[in-house]
Amino acid sequence: MIFKRFWASFRAQVNKLANVFWEADPIAQMQYEYDTAVEQMKEGREGLEQYRGLVERVSRQVAQNEKHVAKLQGQAKAYLKLGDRETASKFALELQKAA
C-alpha cells in the first residue's frame, strides 16, 4: 500500500512537471482524478472489510464469554442447591474472574 501511495505521489509530481511544459489536458486530468477516486474507494472498502472482521470477531468473543458466565452461574447455583458450598464458592470465584 505504501508503494502504491509513493507511486501515485510520483505520478502526480511528473504530471505537475508535464503541465509546466505543456498545456494541461482537461480530459486527462479528469481521468486521473477519476482513477484516484476509484483507488480511494477500493482502499476504503478494504478498510471497512477489515473493520467488519474485527467487529465480528469481538462479537463472537463476547458471545462465548456470556455463555461461559451463564454456565458458571448455573453450576454455582446447582452446587448451592446440593449444599456443597465449597465447590459453589470455587465456581463463584471463577465467575468473578470471568465477569
Residue type, 83: G
Distance between CA atoms of 92 and 99, rounded to whole angstroms?
A: 10
Q: Which residues contact 40 (CB under 8 A, 6 or more apart)?
A: none
What does the pLDDT average to over 4-30? 76
- Identify which of 62, 59, 61, 70 has the alpha carbon closest to the alpha carbon of residue 94: 70
State yes or no: pLDDT of 53 exceeds 80.
yes
Q: What residue spans define the domains of the chain?
A: 50-99
pLDDT of residue 22: 65
pLDDT of residue 23: 64
Average of per-residue pLDDT values in the chain: 87
Q: How confident is the model at residue 8 (pLDDT cuts 50, 70, 90)?
A: confident
State yes or no: pLDDT of 24 exceeds 90.
no
Q: At what angle do helices 26-82 and 2-21 cross, to 10 degrees?
A: 160
- Identify which of 23, 43, 41 has the alpha carbon closest to the alpha carbon of residue 33: 41
Quote the cell numbers at residue 42. 477500493
Highest average pLDDT, of 20-24, 30-34, 35-39, comes from 35-39
